[in-house]
A and B are shown apart, each in its own frame.
Chain A
Amino acid sequence: MIEKMKEILGKVEADYADLRYETKQVARVTLSKKEVRNYGSTTGDGYVLRVLRRGGLATVCFTKPEQADQAVRRAVENADVLSAHQKEKKHIAPAEVVRATVKAPLLEDPRQISLQEKLALVKHYSDLLFAQPDIANVELYYNDVYRDKYFVNTEGSEINEELVTTKLVGAIISQVGELTQTARMAFGGSDGFQRVRNREEEALRQAKIASDLLKAEPVKAGAYNMVLNPDIAGVFTHEAFGHFSEADIIRDLPAMKEKMKLGTKLGTDILNITDNATMPGQLGYYKYDDEGVAVRKVKLMTAGVLTGRLHDRFTAAELGEPITGHAIAEDYRYPPIVRMGNIFIEPGSASLEELLSALGDGLYICDAMGGQTSGENFTFGASYGYVVKNGKLAGMIRDINIMGNLYHTLNSVKLVGSDFELSESGGCGKGQTNIRSCLGGPSVLFENLTVGGR
């Protein structure tokens, strides 16, 4: 494959060019109310060509090998259009030439397990959950995604890396009369099928939460002090801060770039934030990004001060900062953009009891249900929570969505827990989907976050 790709790249007249080809196989088993909805595997493949000519960088994605000449012509034309009309030319930051073959580090390879066995496992969880009180429906989605990526560039890099992601996620729906409530479970990771086995205890815990939520009170709207558990603190870190450490977002928002200069104090002294996709076993693990750059650990915030940013080779050149290896594409249909790998707040020293005691009166919020960023504002939903009175858990609450503002919220972090967990579901939908975007962290005490409610 590499030789074929070098042949295509050889036809490009440019200052720099790279070509990525990948195949993506997805094995999928989904069950809705005990009924099989999807069972099978699908395959797709395609190419992404990027050309840099006289400061113009253009991308052409194409599907068929016979489209290669057309793609080369179009990419060159597009790059020339950009070059002729761009006031600021694009430059590419220097990176090491890499020749490497990287196999996915798997304990139990999901590709070696039959679809029947996968179906049997999903049915097992479905039967288990349906047997629990108040459960009206269980939707389970199993998939394993195998991406076999080939990358070549005109500097001489030749890389073949495979990524295998295994996930079993579920929505557990409880019902009384017309009221339904949902709890979610998510097991998975980058190191194999064993991640989705033997998780019955956690599945049952979520079924109990779904049932308990039927009796929970909807949260009342207002501003609260609150402790977030590791899963939702991770979503906070991803939404409230992580996206603004992605250099392409900052590059495209000049007024924000001013506010987000490295060395700016944005958080409290106890706040340390890191992106580390090199940690083995976690969902976001990879070796080389989709520009062929080895990913590295980046300390994004140190004692509340901005100390690093996530980059591709073009944003690194533009901002004059080090490359980090964070150019990631969803798959063969997309050019890479800057993405988080595995972001978290570094743990502190407080136990959960100490966090709740320091909170006094407020909310204890647990498990994420998705989030979104828009400008300096962000929202995230929670699966469930508790009212806290005098440091003790009181009644359970539901329908929790939290909103905050980047510039204020990082300064409202008051105490950081000693616990540490990374999510097994992750995911991010910035333009493209990144199923391996990993997040997590410790439990964290915040002051004054806005909660929507009726």
Chain B
Amino acid sequence: MEKLLKLATQAADQAEIFYNEKTMDELAFSDGKLVNCDSSLSSGIALRVIKNGRMGLAHTCNLLDREDFLRQALLSAENGMEVDFTLPHTRDLPRLELYNPAVEDVSKESLIAAGNRIISYIRDRVDAQVNVSFGYSTGSVGILNSAGTDLHERGSGFFTQAMLVFPGTGSGLLTFKTGRCPLDLEDADLDELVELFRLSKIEIVPPTKRLPVIFAPLSLYALLSRFEAAWSPVNIHNGVSPLCGKLGERIVSEKISLTREPFDLELDSASAFDAEGTPTRRLTLIDKGVFSAFPTDLNYAAKLNLEPNGCAVRQSLEWLPTANAVNLVLDPGDVSLEDMVSGIKEGILAQFLMGAHSGNVLNGDYSVGVSTGFMIENGRITGRVKDCMLSGNVYETLSNVEAVENKALNLGIHKLPALLCKDVSVAGK
């Protein structure tokens, strides 16, 4: 790796090597039966160079020929993106405990026993299809660059989840835990799942009208993805984001505060440095409803005349790093989910939404199908909603937040509480 960096530094003005490796195991039960036990051993290297003010990239899984690999990166830089930034010299970062050796001691037999326990516990209470899965991994990432940066982090991950499938469908109810060491589902998690499953046996097509909707944590992707497009520094730089020129302005309810927390070790992407080696830091994007910051990488921070805030991510080594906010934490409020439900005369609890990727995302519009959701009538859940869509605009919907749940669920990528929003357009009967 050092030889490659030396060669690249001689041939280009700046150079950076990003490398990673990961070992992952998965074990899955479908309908109570063990069906999968698979592994993967993956690794890769990305070489980024800057020459004559243009940026180039090459990627490989097996570094067989350094000169050829470098040639590919230099060719890419010949007509690559025009850039004007300097790779950072990053050192003396805080050491984060991202690796838990307990993951290495996981035995497949113990997971099978845990899976069978979950399945029996649920099946003793309801007659349903139960799917259970486990995944665990260890991996490392490293960055070397021509400015002298040499960073390396090792981490571990674990998830366990149980799903109850609605009969005759592929949708259902989910409970899960994610972290850096082995985790089990507790009886209380499973009891909650079983209780909701019992309520789901009655199917209701809601009326077509405006209703209060509780967006449960997993459904919030449909709303957050609209922000993701809007606060992308590329769209802000291109002047096409609805958030252009809105820094410091109130864009949603003051009940909403959203912060990037790179040092929350329970979240998957916790790290002391980002995908370009810039030190990460806590970054509040929405502060009590006010748009206060947006994620940047080195390139767009320079283009927008801002300080890079350590938000560069690589969706894969085949792509150049881009800015995005992961590890988001939405501040919990003061109302329990039970109290939210009991205060609604007629409304919907949305757990999973589908079709969130389509529609005018940049504009903030959404129009999504409810794949798992519940009808609330007179303060209680009366059944599962069928054939129902929710539509609106994220800025309008999140300006109508009536309550924020008093706890946040760790989804791995983010930590989010449920949100109760009034006046959401529902299409049903």
Residues in A lying within 8 Å of B, measured CB to CB:
26, 32-33, 35-46, 56, 58-65, 67, 70-71, 74-75, 78-79, 81-82, 85-88, 115-116, 119, 136-137, 173, 175, 178-182, 221-223, 249, 252-256, 258-259, 332-333, 335, 369-381, 398-401, 403-405, 450-454
B129 within 8 A of A: yes
Instruction: Please state if A173 and B362 are interface contacts (CB–CB under 8 Å).
Output: yes
A-B contact pairs, 23 of them (CB 8 A): A39-B76, A42-B60, A44-B61, A45-B61, A61-B42, A64-B62, A70-B41, A71-B41, A78-B37, A86-B35, A115-B75, A119-B79, A181-B360, A221-B391, A255-B165, A255-B167, A259-B168, A374-B354, A375-B172, A381-B355, A401-B391, A403-B355, A453-B427
Is chain A's interface secondary structure helix, strand, loop, or mixed overall?
A: strand
- What B residues does A254 contact at CB under 8 A? 31, 129
Instruction: Please state if B386 and A405 are interface contacts (CB–CB under 8 Å).
Output: yes
Closest B residue to A82 by beta carbon equals: B37
Task: With A180-B362, A221-B427, A379-B355 as known contacts, state yes or no: A63 contacts B42, CB within 8 Å.
Answer: yes
Instruction: Please state if A221 and B170 are interface contacts (CB–CB under 8 Å).
Output: no
Instruction: Please state if B354 and A222 are interface contacts (CB–CB under 8 Å).
Output: no
- Compute how far the CA of A452 lies from the CA of B39 in the bound complex, rounded to whole angstroms: 41
Closest B residue to A382 by beta carbon equals: B358
- Compute how far the CA of A253 lies from the CA of B77 in the bound complex, rounded to whole angstroms: 49
- Size class of the contact patch on chain B: 35 or more
- What A residues does B38 contact at CB under 8 A? 58-60, 78, 335
- The interface-forming segment of B91-99, B287-295, B364-372, B399-407 is B364-372
User: Closest CB of chain A to B202's CB: distance in Å?
Assistant: 17
- What B residues does A58 contact at CB under 8 A? 37-39
User: Closest CB of chain B to A280's CB: distance in Å?
Assistant: 29
Task: With A63-B43, A371-B358 as known contacts, state yes or no: A452 contacts B319, CB within 8 Å.
Answer: no
- What A residues does B41 contact at CB under 8 A? 60-64, 67, 70-71
Instruction: Please state if B368 and A82 are interface contacts (CB–CB under 8 Å).
Output: no
Instruction: Please state if B60 and A43 are interface contacts (CB–CB under 8 Å).
Output: yes
- What B residues does A75 contact at CB under 8 A? 39
Instruction: Please state if B37 and A179 are interface contacts (CB–CB under 8 Å).
Output: no
Instruction: Please state if B238 and A221 are interface contacts (CB–CB under 8 Å).
Output: no
Instruction: Please state if A116 and B62 are interface contacts (CB–CB under 8 Å).
Output: no
- Compute how far the CA of A400 lies from the CA of B389 in the bound complex, rounded to whole angstroms: 11
Residues in B lying within 8 Å of A, measured CB to CB:
30-31, 33-44, 56-62, 72-73, 75-82, 108-109, 112, 129, 131, 165-172, 208, 234, 238-240, 242, 317-320, 352, 354-360, 362-363, 365, 367-369, 371-372, 386-393, 425-429
Task: With A178-B242, A253-B165, A450-B387 as known contacts, state yes or no: A42 contacts B58, CB within 8 Å.
Answer: yes
Partner of B425, one of A44, A62, A221, A403: A221
User: Closest CB of chain A to B367's CB: distance in Å?
Assistant: 4
User: Closest CB of chain B to A212's CB: distance in Å?
Assistant: 14
Partner of B60, one of A44, A62, A74, A116: A44
User: Closest CB of chain A to B322's CB: distance in Å?
Assistant: 9
- What A residues does B172 contact at CB under 8 A? 375
Instruction: Please state if B392 and A454 are interface contacts (CB–CB under 8 Å).
Output: yes
- Compute how far the CA of A397 lies from the CA of B127 in the bound complex, rounded to whole angstroms: 45
Instruction: Please state if B79 and A376 are interface contacts (CB–CB under 8 Å).
Output: no
User: Closest CB of chain B to A87's CB: distance in Å?
Assistant: 6
Instruction: Please state if B57 and A222 are interface contacts (CB–CB under 8 Å).
Output: no
